[in-house]
Structure 1
Amino acid sequence: MNSQYGLEVDLVQNKALGAFLMFRTVQAYEKNEKTNSGCPLLLLFLVLPVLYQKDIRNALKSTRINSGLRKFTNKFSSREIKETDVLLRVHDLADSYKKLSWASFILASKANMLAVLPDDALVVSHDQKIPRKYECPSIKPMLTGADKLGAWFAKNSLYEIASNLKVRF
């Protein structure tokens, strides 16, 4: 990824980390979704824009998984944060992260972490255990965030997700 911000951003916002985050999101989705049908592919294009942005990730970090997506998005209009524009950026961020998200998804597919059910454009995870040694402290907040996103995505319709995160599919 050629970034205007340099090598540091490229090292952190890379497709391997993105693939791992997508894998964790899909696993959390499957764990929380009742019909066990798979995660809609469209939702994976929201994972990196949310988790790679520090201000969004910080709000995500301070929201409990049981609180849900609406509580998370309501934080941006609360008195403490007062950053409603952050949510309005998610759609544009998803567009700018599209190539990286796709590259991450392709890598996760090639690494046999994720698979697509082409008839329904649903993504399922392969039953894999990633060794804990790869969960280094510096990415732990992102992994926890991926787990929250997957759980919240599973409990909401595409319409509710789009409405809460201010995105268009």
Structure 2
Amino acid sequence: MEASTRRSTQDPSEDIYLVQNPALGAALVWRFVEAYAPKAAGKLPVLPLLFLVLPIVYRKELRDVAVSTQISSGLRLFAGKFKKEQEVLYGIQSRMLRLKKLSLSSISIALHCGLISINTESAEISSLRQKAPKHDDDDIKHMMRTAEKLGHWCKELTLPEVQAILRIKL
């Protein structure tokens, strides 16, 4: 069965075909980190923030809204687009818990492949690569763009602000 056929017949709320790929997750985590602190300059993201990436990027509803939200709009406007669908935001926490092992595997791959590094004393994450790999697949392009926007949006806020806006606990 062709990949596009598989995707169109699949339950979009689970996106199982995506969550089984920690290598893709590693690229998405790296893109988030690079967007948060380009060239590892300035304020760096802390490890708990990385657990946000896959639950948001792998959820089609969230990804579609992120793709349509300007990078300059910020996380508050992104979250505000779910006023009538609050359960989507409340679902991020449970998806974070369900995807914890995948997120850890993705972070591990990103570390071992030299995409990111971690300061074990501060739990700050640095990007070690500045250029994104090329992708022909539109879904992957949208995922990478969503991870990038999420990184930009999170760098403008404190960790407690991110948690309050997205209704999560890290």
Please report the TM-score for the alignment, with normalisation by the length of structure 1: 0.86
C-alpha distance in structure 1 between counterparts of 2:65 and 2:99, whole Å: 20
Q: 1:16 — aligned with what?
A: 23
Identity percentage of aligned residues? 37
Please state if 1:166 is matched with 2:167. Answer: yes
Distance 1:135 1:44, change over 3 A: farther
Aligned amino acid, residue 76 of structure 2: R
**RMSD (Å) for aligned C-alpha atoms:** 2.2
Q: 1:36 — aligned with what?
A: 42
Aligned amino acid, residue 136 of structure 1: D
Deviation at 1:10, TM superposition (A): 5.0
Deviation at 1:38, TM superposition (A): 1.8
Map 1:74-153; keep pairs closer than 5 Å: 74-77=80-83, 82-132=84-134, 134=135, 136-153=137-154
C-alpha distance in structure 2 between counterparts of 1:129 and 1:135, whole Å: 16
Deviation at 1:131, TM superposition (A): 3.5
Distance 1:85 1:131, change over 3 A: closer
Deviation at 1:158, TM superposition (A): 0.2
Query: Residue deviations 1:50-104, cap 9 Å, x none?
Result: 0001111111111110000000000000xxxx21110011111101100000000
Deviation at 1:135, TM superposition (A): 5.3
Contact 1:18–1:104 at 8 Å: present in 2 too?
A: yes
Contact 1:76–1:84 at 8 Å: present in 2 too?
A: yes
Contact 1:31–1:151 at 8 Å: present in 2 too?
A: no
C-alpha distance in structure 2 between counterparts of 1:9 and 1:150, whole Å: 22
Contact 1:59–1:72 at 8 Å: present in 2 too?
A: yes
| SS at 2:73 equivalent | coil
Unaligned regions of 5+ residues in structure 2, if any?
A: 1-9
C-alpha distance in structure 1 between counterparts of 2:130 and 2:39, whole Å: 17
Q: 2:62 — aligned with what?
A: 56
Please report the TM-score for the alignment, with normalisation by the length of structure 2: 0.85
C-alpha distance in structure 1 between counterparts of 2:122 and 2:57, whole Å: 26
C-alpha distance in structure 2 between counterparts of 1:32 and 1:71, whole Å: 27
| SS at 1:58 equivalent | helix
Unaligned regions of 5+ residues in structure 1, if any?
A: none
C-alpha distance in structure 2 between counterparts of 1:165 and 1:72, whole Å: 10
